[in-house]
Amino acid sequence: MWGFSASKTTWIEAQRILAWSFSDTGVVRDINVTNLPVFSLPSSSNSLSAGAIAGITIGCVVLLVICVFVVSWYWYKKKLRALEEDVIEDWELEYWPHRFSYGELSQATNGFSMDQLLGSGGFGKVYRGTLPNNSEIAVKCVNHDSKQGLREFMAEISSMGRLQHKNLVQMRGWCRKASELMLVYDYMPNGSLDRYIFYKPKKLLNWQQRRQILADVAEGLNYLHHGWEKVVVHRDVKSSNIMLDSDMRGRLGDFGLAKLYSHNEVPNTTRVVGTLGYLAPELATMAIATSASDVYSFGVVILEVVCGRKPVQMGANEDEDSVLIDLVRDLYAKGKVVEAVDERMKGEFVAEEMELVLKLGLVCCHPDSQKRPSMREVVAVLVGEDVAAAPAELLNVMATGGGVGDGSNHGGGEVALTR
């Protein structure tokens, strides 16, 4: 019996016979192997050339070097970021309510998840977070494309970090990781005032709530102007910067544009910042922010809250634009100022009280800064079980005419407006 083995699969197996011997008698003759032909496989099928081996070796070495470099660079950058996060600068030591680590805030906000995003704007993004003790916070990531961003970040820390008042949004602290700047505040569950004034909220604010919110913010501003060791000019008082806590009480926030100076000091600045519709007219010419310019902005807020209208409403063309101060002033001159009241309140207020508050708003917006009341006087009008009667000389200064203080640039200084 004889035969050859071969593959049973799809592979092909080739056989080469160099010699054979067989017999039908059962005695096989020996094969003389000395005369067998020489057979060897081609060199290409059983080994690599020297050049190929050298190329593979060099490639492996290069790949190894690249891997080592990438891993080393990764660990270097990681260590550098950790060192930058731990660096404490002089200004941080000076204003130190609390410095959060980036890891703490990332964990509190679920990695700054979009599900936790409360809002965004020119200032940056604000996220909702929860600390390990279950207290809720709001984390504001400050835009920092330039030195101005860092200046505003430091201004907010230097002011809010040391201010303590029930009607100011309390700052818990901050975080700085390399160039990333974050501010941490108490979370205000009811959001900002503008949502309840200009839009369609689930729950409409009645007059008592609106008056209380105005009184709250007035007390906060009075503290900034008169109740602290320095005068703090907010420079961006507006309804979207007024936050509402769980009891619907007003708190003034966002101190990124605030300026601090001594009570005897004369303010000096050449850069006008703020929001269109809230800027006092003297800012466009003098470019000096004072407590009186804050009073003007608060006067606009009074008119917004009472009338339920934005300070400037753009029409289809310029002729249809509506300025709230002009509207209320015209109705006041006609003896019909109460007609400016938000119709959604459906007349559920005392007309005399409402008229007094509208007059107060107009006085605060007087084009002459010297004729505006101080925040002490504004608080005296707004606080109490009933709105107190204002002094005649305080409210009898409003007449038709004058500027509307819309923040237009009539020269002087650099103008930076948000809208």
- Residue 302 has φ and ψ, to the nearest 5°, of -55, -50
Nearest to 155 by CA among 163, 166, 167, 145: 163
Task: Give CA–CA dist 137/26, Å, rounded.
Answer: 100
255 Cβ partners below 8 Å, 6+ apart? 155, 156, 159, 160, 232, 234
State the burial class of residue 58 (Cβ atoms within 10 Å of its Cβ: 0-12, 13-18, 19+).
exposed
**The pairing of beta strand 180-186 with beta strand 171-177:** antiparallel
- Sign of the CA dihedral with 189 first, then 194, 195, and 200 last: positive
Known binding site for ATP: residues? 140
294 tagged catalytic: no
Out of 24, 90, 186, 236, the active site residue is: 236
Count of Cβ atoms closer than 10 Å to residue 74 Cβ: 10
CA 37, distance to chain mean position in Å, is 87
For residues 302 and 360, the answer to whether their CB atoms sit within 8 Å is yes
Query: What's the token pair of residue 11?
Result: 């592979």
409 Cβ partners below 8 Å, 6+ apart? 272, 284, 415
Nearest to 355 by CA among 340, 377, 374: 340
Task: Give CA–CA dist 153/232, Å, rounded.
Answer: 16
Residues taking part in catalysis: 236
